[in-house]
Structure 1
Amino acid sequence: MKYPAINNQLFRLNRKNFTNKLSRNSIAIFQSHDEFPRSGDQNHVFKQNPDLFYLSGIDQEQSVLLLFPDCPNPLYREVLFLRQTNEHIAVWEGHKLSTSEAKKISGIENIFWLDDLWKILPSIINYADKIYLNTNENDRYVHQVPYRDIRFIEEIKKYYPLHHYERAAPLLRDLRPVKSEIEIELTKKACSITRDAFIRILKFIKPGVAEYEIEAEIIHEFIRQRSTGHAYAPIIASGKNANILHYTDNNQVCKDGEVILFDFGAEYANYNADMSRSVPVNGKFTTRQKEVYNSVLKIMREAKKMLAPGVVWNDYHNEVGKVVTSELLTLGLLDKHDVAKQDPAMPLYKKYFMHGTSHHLGIDVHDFASRYKPFEEGNILTCEPGIYIPEEGLGIRLENNIVLMKNGNIDLMDDIPLEAEEIEEIMNS
């Protein structure tokens, strides 16, 4: 891992909060992610299961976490199972965690090698009444691949068919959205790296530069500051490409007179930033471009005011839609008579603003949370309105990351240039 060690109080607290939600006399088991094949003899870069990382801080493949707070043998109340290294692995793959390193990272005292899992598990599992197992229950995910969690569920049920099984995910869905101070600081660091990358490219952009050249400048700054890399596939969309919401080809030349829509963020210590900005290729917005830009900026500022603990997701998005409609009327993109007759279930503003305004942010970019539970203090949410006008070859999106607080929110990106004039000034300096 590139990032410095994280204070293991984070993971100790996360485990305490999780085990407090378990039914009495229950065992919970978490698996690391698979190592996914990239080619005939290579794997993709490993990415840890966010739930296992949240509870342990372990960022290594082939790891298992076992939590059994009421285990009659105290030795097995918190256990990590790790891949045991050898001379061959050390030569070909490099360093793997020792037991002492894993203790320091996780705060878990009892570390065993993975080969011991099926020796230890039979000795304790029959003393548990319930077994909590984990799957990916993010409501943006559609299950198609039989990943490690699914395979383990099939295996353990084969050996222990009479136990009562429970889902760990609903407990984590309540816990993970509320960020601790350490998590907020890690996210703030990811935002800081993202800021530096954005300022770097503002000074680099000019007509004739290719989208992929800008992408290269971004990843240079990320890696230079110990980021793991992109939090998600970066969007560098010049001109009409900005109207493709998830454009990631990044292979076109940026032309004089166009606006580039950026959507990128750094990943740092498995926590993510998620930023959007829109800038003129030649360093100067046209009158129309600035008009649209300032409308999006106004929507963003109004939406930020609405983000607060206790607010309900759908109510928030409906209220933002009213502001969007008002701005689209001002821009001449909607007619007030048509708006008066619109179907409330299909508001006309969605022609120019198709996506939601906010999503939870954390270990996952679209973090694991309920869309039906009111926002809470400690949530980190994006605020990302946009206006997309294909007939004008123009798309504008602006996005910051906001920590919800009882006595006033914290904008983790308030030091990233946002005003049109500020962006022009930096580009022309």
Structure 2
Amino acid sequence: MKYLPISSALFVKNRKKFTAQMKPNAIAVFNSNDIYPISADSTMPFQQHRDIFYLSGVDQEESILILFPDAPYEHQREILFLRETNEHIAIWEGEKLTKERAFEVSGIKTVYWLSDFEKILFELMTYAETMYINTNEHYRQSVETETREARFVKWWKEKYPAHNVAKSNPILQRIRSVKEQEELDLMQTACNITEKGFRRLLSFVKPGVTEYEIEAELIHEFVRNRSKGFAYTPIIASGNNANVLHYIENNQPCHAGDLILLDVAAEYANYSSDLSRTIPVSGRYTDRQKAVYNAVLRVKNEATKLLVPGALWKEYHKEVGKIMTSELLGLGLLDKADVQNENPDWPAYKKYFMHGTSHHLGLDTHDYGLLHEPIKANMVFTVEPGIYIPAEGFGIRLEDNVVVQEKGEPFNLMRNIPIEVEEIENLMNV
């Protein structure tokens, strides 16, 4: 891993939060992700399952975590299983976790090789009444492949049909959505790396550069600052490409007078940042571009103030819709008749701002969080309004990452990343 070591104290706290919500005499199992094949002997770069990372800090394939807080013996209450390493593996694949190093990373004292898993699980199951299985229940999930976790669940149900079944995901949705200070520090690092990439672009962009050259500048800056790279597939959308919300081709030239919508950010230690900025190819915004830009910025600033403890997700988005409607009226994109005659299920503002304003952020870019429950302090959200005008050949989105505070306005993790029109123009014309 490129990132600096993380204190095992974070993962100890995370496990305590999870086990405190388990049913009596229950066991929970968490699996690493697979390494996914492409074809022949090629594979995708490994990405650890965020749940086992959150609970253990282990960031390698073929690892399993067992939590059994009511086990009869202390050494059975937290167990890690790792792929056995040896000199041959070290030569061909690099260093893997030893038992000693796994303890340093996770704070878990009991570590076995993976070959012992079925035997030890059998003993534990004779004591347990309930198994927590880790199914993916995120509101955006759309999984078509059979994961390592899914294969385990299928195997376990066949082998232990008499046990009760519970779900880990509702617990994880709650505890992962509220960040510890160590997590906020890691996310701040991700945002700081993103800032370095964005500032690099401001002196690089000019008429004639291509979207993929901008992508290359970003990945260079991210990796040289200990990031694996992009937290998500980057969107570098010049001109009318900005009106395709998930434009990821990034293969077009950037023309004088156009804007570039950038939705690009770095990860760090598996934690995501998520930035959107919209900059002028020629280094100056036109009056119309500036007017729309500042309208989006005002919506972002006002929407941020609404992210307070106790706020409800649906009501928050309704309020942001009202703010956006007012700005669109001011820009002449809507008139009063449009608003008076709007469909309540698809308000008039949705013609120009069709996506949500915010989502949870953390180990996943669209992180865990139960949307029907009130917002809490130390949740992290994006704030990302946009106005998209295909008829005028541009779209603008602005996005920061903010931490909900117990009192007062949210804390902006991207407070140092240029966003005001004058600041961006000045930096692009140094």
Same fold per superposition (TM over 0.5): yes
Write out per-residue CA displacement over residues 135-188 of structure 1, whole angstroms, 9 at most, x where no aligned residue.
111110123221111110111111111000111111101110000000000000
Write out per-residue CA displacement over residues 341-367 of structure 1, whole angstroms, 9 at most, x where no aligned residue.
212221011010010000000000000
Map 1:46-61 onto structure 2 (within 5 A). Answer: 46-61=46-61
Partner of 1:127: 127
Q: Aligned partners of 1:167 and 1:40: how far apart in 2?
A: 36
Partner of 2:421: 420
Q: What secondary structure does 2:177 align onto?
A: coil
Partner of 1:324: 324
Q: What secondary structure does 1:251 align onto?
A: coil
More moved, 118-127 vs 280-289: 118-127
Q: Aligned partners of 1:47 and 1:61: how far apart in 2?
A: 8
Deviation at 1:274, TM superposition (A): 0.2
Deviation at 1:339, TM superposition (A): 0.9
Deviation at 1:73, TM superposition (A): 2.1
Write out per-residue CA displacement over residues 6-35 of structure 1, whole angstroms, 9 at most, x where no aligned residue.
011110000000000001111100000111
Q: Aligned partners of 1:167 and 1:345: how far apart in 2?
A: 33
Deviation at 1:75, TM superposition (A): 1.6
| Gapped regions of structure 2 (runs ≥ 5) | none
Q: Aligned partners of 1:13 and 1:413: how far apart in 2?
A: 27
Write out per-residue CA displacement over residues 213-245 of structure 1, whole angstroms, 9 at most, x where no aligned residue.
000000000000001110000111000000011
Residue 169 in 1 paired to residue 175 in 2? no
Q: Aligned partners of 2:125 and 2:220: how far apart in 1?
A: 48
Map 1:26-105 onto structure 2 (within 5 A). Answer: 26-105=26-105
Deviation at 1:246, TM superposition (A): 0.7
Residue 230 in 1 paired to residue 230 in 2? yes
Runs of 4+ in 1 over 2 A off after TM superposition: none
| Gapped regions of structure 1 (runs ≥ 5) | none
More moved, 337-346 vs 155-164: 337-346
Partner of 1:385: 385
Q: What secondary structure does 1:176 align onto?
A: helix
Partner of 1:13: 13
Write out per-residue CA displacement over residues 40-77 of structure 1, whole angstroms, 9 at most, x where no aligned residue.
10211100111100000000000000011111122211
TM-score, normalized by length of structure 1? 0.99
Write out per-residue CA displacement over residues 319-354 of structure 1, whole angstroms, 9 at most, x where no aligned residue.
000111111111111111221121222101101001
Map 1:185-264 onto structure 2 (within 5 A). Answer: 185-264=185-264
Partner amino acid for 2:239?
Answer: G
Partner of 1:116: 116
Residue 270 in 1 paired to residue 291 in 2? no
Q: What secondary structure does 2:277 align onto?
A: strand
Partner of 1:342: 342
TM-score, normalized by length of structure 2? 0.99
Q: Percent identity?
A: 54
Write out per-residue CA displacement over residues 388-413 of structure 1, whole angstroms, 9 at most, x where no aligned residue.
00011110000000000112321000
Write out per-residue CA displacement over residues 61-101 of structure 1, whole angstroms, 9 at most, x where no aligned residue.
00000011111122211000001123332222111111111
Q: What secondary structure does 2:66 align onto?
A: strand
Partner amino acid for 1:399?
Answer: E
Partner of 2:411: 410
